[in-house]
Amino acid sequence: MLAARHEPAEVLGIDPSPVLVERAKELATVADKVRFETGDARETGLDDASFDVAIFHTALCHIPEPERALIEAHRILKPGGWLAIFDGDYSTSTVALAEHDPLQACSRAVTEQNVIDRWIVRRLPGMVKRCGFKVSRFRSHGYAEVIDPTYMLGHAERGAEALAAQGVIGEELAEALKAEAHRRARAGEFFGHIAYASLVARKQAR
């Protein structure tokens, strides 16, 4: 929706999940300019040099063979077109308050379950260059939850459930870990953090 604020001729969103595509359509408030399709970023089927901007928002870490998605972005971008990436350095995900905090195992479990490459942000500049782009900017961004935890509190909860589902811990311990996460939140003692990074690059005009 943010892209539509710049009054482009069209904004196209692609996701492999039909469920997420339908949800995006429900949330779209400028339907005449924005459309969503189920598809694969590694093979879009779009015309060569047909877009001005390609955006990957917390997407590349979930895509097998992400270089293929970047090469595809390069193909569909016009000469001089822009590439924008925002993704998580999920190797930094933490809800720990100290060494050996048991809730950290929960955070790690949910990250490993949902993210293909937790380290991709650290290799992004080189990866983007190899795919034919010139990097203009690379910045880090910290995301922390303390006072009103929601996302990272969910990390702790879903991670405890994932560990129980894997048979690593029993249901009683999973419930106890979730209860501890909520106790910290009520007491104002919860802490959650993930480092993110943004990259802007350009397809060189020939």
**Quick one: pLDDT at residue 110?**
94
Residue 27 CB burial class (10 angstroms; 0-12, 13-18, ≥19): exposed
Per-residue pLDDT, 1: 46
Q: Which residues are within 8 A (CB) of 179 and not within 5 positions of it... i.e. 6 or more apart? A: none
pLDDT tens digits, residue range 1-53? 455 455 567 889 999 999 888 888 887 776 567 889 999 999 999 999 999 99
Inter-residue contact 28 to 2 (CB < 8 Å): no
Q: Residue 106 in contact with residue 155, Cβ under 8 Å?
A: yes
The domain tally of the chain equals: 1
Residue 7 within any structural domain of the chain: no
CB 95 within 8 Å of CB 66: no
pLDDT digits (tens, 9 = 90+) for 145-194: 999 999 999 999 999 999 999 999 999 999 999 999 999 999 999 999 99
In a domain, 90, yes or no: yes
Q: Is residue 35 part of a domain?
A: no
d(CA 133, CA 86): 16
Give the pLDDT of residue 50. 95
pLDDT at residue 112 greater than cutoff 90: yes
Which residue range forms the structural domain that includes residue 130? 40-203
